[in-house]
Amino acid sequence: MTAAGAVVGSALVAVRDAARVGVTTLELDEVAEAVIRDAGAVPSFKGYHGFPGSICASVNEVVVHGIPDRQTVLREGDLVSIDCGAILDGWHGDSAWSFGVGELSAADSDLSEATRLAMDAGIAAMLDGGHLTDVSHAIETETRAASARMGREFAIVDGYGGHGIGREMHLDPFLPNEGKPGRGPSLVVGSTLAIEPMLTLGTADTTVLDDDWTVVTDDGSRAAHWEHTVAVTADGPRILTPRP
Q: For residue 227, what are the CA distances in angstroms to 3, 22, 126, 182?
A: 17, 26, 14, 22
CATH architecture classification, 2-239: Alpha-Beta Complex (3.90)
The pLDDT value recorded for residue 241 is 98
Domain ranges of the chain: 2-239
* Residue-wise pLDDT tens digits, 89-141: 999 999 999 999 999 999 999 999 999 999 999 999 999 999 999 999 999 99
Question: Taking the complete model, does pTM exceed 0.85, yes or no?
Answer: yes
The pLDDT value recorded for residue 53 is 98
